[in-house]
Amino acid sequence: MAVIYKTTMTPSKLELLTAWLPRQPWYIGMASEPHLTKAGGFRLDDPQGEVGIEFMVVTDTSGERPRSYHVPLSYRGAPLDGADRGLIGTSEHGVLGRRWVYDGTHDPVLVAQLLDLLQGRAVPQAQSETNAPAPSVTSYFTGVGFSTVIASAVVDDRQHGTAIVVETMEEAGPHGQSAGAVTIDVMRVLRPDTQVSQVDAVRAARGHVVADWRSKNGEESRGLFVVLRDTAR
């Protein structure tokens, strides 16, 4: 169970994201320095208790209309080998000391827990409270379940979002035996949609995650955060 500390981070998460966000191919704002506010999200627990996992929503008000972005984040006490491309920055945590903050799509611990969430094996947690489930976050999965032991993951940032192609391993099978590949589509620009089941991406998918966030005027919005599909061969 992750412990949520009431403390500071220097620089703050929003300060780190302000510098990082405009460099992403799916950022559709025009400002070199977006005006960001925290708009919601949720957390997942790392079973080993080493990595902080957060799915944050930030809203950019620098343009003519507000845009809400979904940024999975992982927090580590040391650099993650091979993940330099996913590093957002470092920050000094008031209790834990220096933390390396990553775009969580590059972190195998976050990806494994996201696969567990999609299959109903992980409980989403409130963003700012310890040991408080987030019932508004819902997942749907169809078909046969599979292992979340990750053999490899390839991250592809695109104009319309991020695709993670994940090769998993059979937990009980012979060493090196692949369980197959799936693709996780991470929605980056969030769009409210009350009829999620009618979205084309969902109709052909094996699973998806839906969650809430707050609009600029405080009203609740709801829409797709993640879609799981079979990897095209």
Range of the domain at 161: 9-230
Instruction: State the total domains in the chain.
Output: 1
Kindly state the average pLDDT of the residues 67-80.
Answer: 97
Cα(113)–Cα(230) distance, integer angstroms: 18
Determine, yes or no, domain membership for 1. Answer: no
Determine, yes or no, domain membership for 4. Answer: no
Q: Where are the alpha helices (DSSP H) in the chain?
A: 13-20, 108-118, 200-203
Determine, yes or no, domain membership for 2. Answer: no
Determine, yes or no, domain membership for 59. Answer: yes
pLDDT of 174 above 60: no
Q: Can you read off the two tokens belonging to residue 70?
A: 């979904």
pTM of the model as a whole: 0.92
Reported confidence tier of residue 25, pLDDT bands at 50, 70, 90: very high
Give tens-digit pLDDT for 88-127. Answer: 999 998 888 899 999 999 999 999 999 999 999 999 999 9
